């Protein structure tokens, strides 16, 4: 089996002409809370979204999520 080697984490942003995929940042929190509070999104996640629960589940900083995992 071929050794996969070591990758840098997080990877550098992946960019196309119309999209940039990057690691989440603290400034993204409000958008994540709004997204997860959406009833439409909740339908696909298995439960209706609620702003208070979404806010409580979303870490204030991305590093907080990694520390609790």
pLDDT digit string, tens, across residues 15-54: 999 999 988 888 999 998 888 888 888 777 776 545 555 5
The candidate with the shortest Cα–Cα distance to 63, out of 11, 26, 13, is: 26
In a domain, 3, yes or no: no
What's the CA gap between 51 and 54, in Å, rounded?
5
Whether the predicted pLDDT of 55 surpasses 80:
no
In a domain, 4, yes or no: no
In a domain, 48, yes or no: yes
Domain that holds residue 64: 27-68
In a domain, 39, yes or no: yes
How many folded domains does the chain comprise? 1
In a domain, 46, yes or no: yes
In a domain, 14, yes or no: no
Peptide bond into 22 cis (omega under 30): no
In a domain, 21, yes or no: no
């Amino acid at each position: 089996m071929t050794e996969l080697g070591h990758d840098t984490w997080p990877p550098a942003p992946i960019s196309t002409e119309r999209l940039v995929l990057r690691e989440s940042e603290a400034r993204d929190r409000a958008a994540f809370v709004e997204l997860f509070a959406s009833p439409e999104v909740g339908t696909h996640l298995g439960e209706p979204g609620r702003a208070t629960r979404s806010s409580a589940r979303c870490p204030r900083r991305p590093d907080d999520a990694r520390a609790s995992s």
